[in-house]
Each structure stands twice: as C-alpha cells, then as structure tokens.
Amino acid sequence: MSTLAHALVQIVGERYVSTDADVLAGRTIDHTGRYLGTASILIRPGTAEEVAEILKVCKEHSQAVTTQGGRTSMVAGTVSEHDDVLLSTERLTEIGPIDTVERRVRAGSGVTLAALQQAAAKENLQFGVDIGSRDSATLGGMASTNAGACVRCATETCANKSSEFKSHCPMVQSWSATAMFVPTTQATT
C-alpha cells in the first residue's frame, strides 16, 4: 500500500479505500466509452469533515482528485486524467429534515434525485427537477454539471469546514446542498 493510500485509510478506514485494479477500471471510463482515464485509489468518505481531510492529504502529496457522484453524466466530467484519486460521494447520503415552511432541506451530495423526490413527496412537496437517471444521478453531480436545467441550490463547500483549506479547493461543489421545493399541486373539481 502506498504512503498516500495508507494516509487515506487513516481518515475513512480500510473498508472505504480501494486500490484494486478491477474496481478502478470500472470507474475510469465514461458512459460513451470514448473517454478512458487512470486512477490509483478510490476513496468513499462519509462526512464533509472526511472530505476536507482527504483533500488536505492529497494536496500534501501533490495528488490530483476527481470527484465522482452517480457517474451518469455524458460529458466525461468524472473521468480521471492523471492517475488520480477518485473521491466517490456514494456515502454522502444524509437527508436532513424538510422545512415545510421554507421548503428547504439539507442533503448530502451523494443523495440520489429519486431519494430526494421520495423525501419531498412525504411532505407533499416536489423537487423542481426530474431526469431519466433519477435513480442514480446524485445531487452533487447534478449541481456541478447543471444537469436537469437551472435550479437554484445553495451549496456549502469543504472550505467552510476547514478555513485552512479555503484557498486550496475553491472549485469543490456541494458536499451538502440546500434544495428548494414547490408544493405538490392537487387537482380541484
């Protein structure tokens, strides 16, 4: 195990770090099959604090990081280029309580669109976006690629979690997001 991989294991635990070539191979190609990248490590953090620590360690090792959500995008934005560390948002799936008055919720960037839609429906609300890949598309990926049309989402970057890291990760988007909802319309007779 490399020094970097060992340092990352210290953050999230061995279960959430993989250097297995077969695992990495399935995550270094886009859906079109036209873009193929390389990666050295896959890491799956479970909190924004872990994300901040991972990025700090990768910076110390001069290691590029490619973030991956549901990997449903057709623009090859999640294909790693330089033997990157792949940072998966698949464990960042917490959905906070829905504020039905303000019509907002705080949700992790790994939350799928379908999970958010289901949570909203329980409160007679709906999220204003729906796309065919709803079961696997994640909020973080949708926000970073502007998928599903222009929707206003207030995002919290990892810079807010670690002031030391602020100048080093200005492009990090939506480790958690506040989503806006609209009331579910009901037919009247």
Q: How many domains does the chain have?
A: 2
Q: Collect all residues with Cβ–Cβ distance below 8 Å to 1 and sequence separation of at least 6.
A: 9, 19
- Quick one: average pLDDT of 145-167? 45
How far is 128 from 184, CA to CA, in rounded Å?
Answer: 10
Beta strands in the chain (DSSP E): 17-18, 39-43, 65-68, 84-88, 104-108, 125-127, 154-156, 176-183
The residue that leads in pLDDT, 37 or 163, is: 37
**End position of a domain, from candidates 57, 88, 119:** 88
Domain identity same for 9 and 62: yes
Alpha helix (H) residue ranges in the chain? 3-12, 21-25, 48-60, 113-121, 139-145
In a domain, 20, yes or no: yes
Range of the domain at 159: 104-183
Quick check: is 189 in a domain?
no
pLDDT tier for residue 184 given thresholds of 50, 70 and 90: low
Q: Tokens at residue 139, please? A: 């909020």
